[in-house]
Chains A and B, each alone.
Chain A
Amino acid sequence: MIALLIRDMKLAMRAGGGFGLGLSFFLIVTVLVPFGVGPESTLLAKIAPGILWLGALLACLLSLDRIFALDWEDGSLDLLATSPLPMEGVVTVKATAHWLTTGLPLCLASPLFGLLLSLPAEGYQWLVASLVLGTPALSVIGTFGAALTVGLKRGGLLMSLLVLPLYVPTLIFGAEVARRGAEGLATTTPLLMLAGITAGTIALLPFASALVLRVNLR
């Protein structure tokens, strides 16, 4: 399992433009927002938590098809399926690698982007906390979407259609934590809900992903 994790991380980092592409996308979205809505810092401060969460979500979505597509094409997915590692384990490792290469950098870089959108000072810790808690769910749900559409040509658009509705609860609670944090309100309830969603998806969704992956490899 660890070998697979290391392999996936190396592939993501060395294959041109894989690693950091999500981060650059996040940066571009953040930079474009003031062009769209105007540079008033009061308005930006108000919408910053939501925009940052949306940006993180889209950056995550952008890199999902990399999870299985390359392994599917060169046949290494078949090898993984016949390896002693159960499919659920493969899927979990894939999701973890995806989170380490997209979710974690996004979390670490988000305060910087918050600065660009004049996020209030109280908001930073809550923004980072909500992203750290929420982005694993995004990776796990995304892995499910990627597993569903792995056999399809031009599955990218369909995958967005399938995955984005599944992101709704995570987005609602994640953005709520960040917003309440920025406004100095109590954040415990949405934070717990967010953590619950993440824990639930990590525990259950790999089984569904493994199931559809097996169907696709049949």
Chain B
Amino acid sequence: MGSIWEYANPVKFIRTSEIVLPWVSILATVTLIAGLVWGFFFTPDDYRQGSTVKIIYLHVPAALMAINVWFMMLVTSLVWLIRRHHVSALAAKAAAPVGIIMTLIALVTGAIWGQPMWGTWWAWDPRLTSFLILFLFYLGYIALWEAIDNPDTAADLTAVLCIVGSVFAVLSRYAVNFWNQGLHQGASLSLDKKENVADVFSTPLYVCIAGFVLLFIALVFLRTRTEIHKRRTKALLARERLG
């Protein structure tokens, strides 16, 4: 077993991901179906929220992923800037569209949940607002990738944008806190607190979160492979045109 950096070699990455990808995909499908079916059909309705509480099985995992995908992009961007591994930059590029969809799912399911519970689709609550800002950051990041032709320049610029954006995203998160606490409840799934969501709800929720994480891993593997192949095709075409 060598160091982790061996997997930064595109050939090695393609070979490894070829073995891992089917398993991760199957595991993601099974976990997601199990978690969602369990959550939707085999949990009791909440005594105050009725069956709307089941939105939690989409909302919470998506929101969790929305933030963690950005964090993963931050790490891979740093790896790209420091060690210049192309796979790292491509993984960040591959993760961004997944992240923006997760953010969108969190926002939309939140709105659908908020309508019956809070009586409004949208409020300028700190958590809601910071997710909207996160959505804008994803948009800008993806747009910058699209706008630049040279792949190395694009990788460099988006990596710096990702790092600067992270700082400002965190700043914005705490800046909007300044207004008020807002409608959204605080964390109810922490490991160190006594009062959490009841086990009947939280166990399928953990399964769903695991499913979302696995789905994300599978998608990033798939999309990174596509990016590597795309780059290779481009190189081959360029060589053909020369020779």
Flag whether A205 is at the interface (Cβ < 8 A): yes
Q: Given contacts A165-B165, A168-B175, is CB(A216)–CB(B157) below 8 Å? A: yes
Flag whether A14 is at the interface (Cβ < 8 A): no
Flag whether A166 is at the interface (Cβ < 8 A): yes
A215 touches B176 (CB 8 A): no
A205 touches B144 (CB 8 A): no
Q: In the complex, how many angstroms separate the beta carbon of B195 from the nearest chain A beta carbon?
A: 31
- Chain A residues closer than 8 Å to B144, beta-carbon distance: 148, 158, 162
B164 touches A161 (CB 8 A): no
Chain A residue with the shortest CB-CB distance to B170: A169
A173 to B178, CA, bound (A): 9
Q: In the complex, how many angstroms separate the beta carbon of B169 from the nearest chain A beta carbon?
A: 8
A165 touches B133 (CB 8 A): yes
- The size of the chain A interface, using a CB distance under 8 A, is 27
- Chain A residues closer than 8 Å to B175, beta-carbon distance: 168-169, 172-173, 193
- The size of the chain B interface, using a CB distance under 8 A, is 23
Flag whether A190 is at the interface (Cβ < 8 A): yes
- Chain A residues closer than 8 Å to B147, beta-carbon distance: 149, 152, 155, 158
A211 to B136, CA, bound (A): 23
A134 to B162, CA, bound (A): 23
Chain A residue with the shortest CB-CB distance to B138: A165
A168 touches B164 (CB 8 A): no
B161 touches A165 (CB 8 A): no
- Chain A residues closer than 8 Å to B200, beta-carbon distance: none
Flag whether A62 is at the interface (Cβ < 8 A): no
A169 touches B156 (CB 8 A): no
**0/1 per residue, B157-188, Cβ < 8 Å to A?**
10011011100100110011010000000000
Flag whether B143 is at the interface (Cβ < 8 A): yes
A211 touches B178 (CB 8 A): no
- Chain B residues closer than 8 Å to A190, beta-carbon distance: 178
Q: Given contacts A152-B148, A172-B178, A176-B178, is CB(A215)–CB(B156) below 8 Å? A: yes
- Chain B residues closer than 8 Å to A208, beta-carbon distance: 160, 163-164
Flag whether B221 is at the interface (Cβ < 8 A): no
**0/1 per residue, A199-218, Cβ < 8 Å to B?**
00000010010011001101
Flag whether B57 is at the interface (Cβ < 8 A): no
A155 to B139, CA, bound (A): 15
Q: Given contacts A169-B168, A212-B156, A216-B153, is CB(A162)–CB(B161) below 8 Å? A: yes
A161 touches B178 (CB 8 A): no
Flag whether A144 is at the interface (Cβ < 8 A): yes
Q: In the complex, how many angstroms separate the beta carbon of A73 from the nearest chain B beta carbon?
A: 18
Chain A residue with the shortest CB-CB distance to B169: A165
A168 to B171, CA, bound (A): 9
Chain A residue with the shortest CB-CB distance to B137: A165
- Chain B residues closer than 8 Å to A211, beta-carbon distance: 160
- Chain A residues closer than 8 Å to B176, beta-carbon distance: 172
Q: Of B140, B163, B168, which is within 8 A of A161 by CB?
A: B140
Q: In the complex, how many angstroms separate the beta carbon of B148 from the nearest chain A beta carbon?
A: 7
Given contacts A148-B157, A152-B147, A218-B153, 16 further A-B contacts (CB under 8 A): A151-B148, A158-B140, A161-B143, A162-B143, A162-B161, A165-B133, A165-B137, A165-B165, A165-B168, A165-B172, A166-B165, A168-B168, A176-B178, A193-B175, A208-B164, A216-B153
The 4 closest A-B pairs by CB, nearest first: A169-B175, A169-B171, A165-B136, A215-B156
B residues touching A (Cβ–Cβ < 8 Å)?
133, 136-137, 139-140, 143-144, 147-148, 153, 156-157, 160-161, 163-165, 168, 171-172, 175-176, 178
Residue contacts A-B, CB under 8 angstroms, 16 given: A151-B148, A158-B143, A158-B147, A161-B136, A161-B139, A161-B140, A161-B143, A162-B143, A162-B144, A165-B140, A165-B168, A166-B165, A172-B176, A173-B175, A208-B160, A216-B153
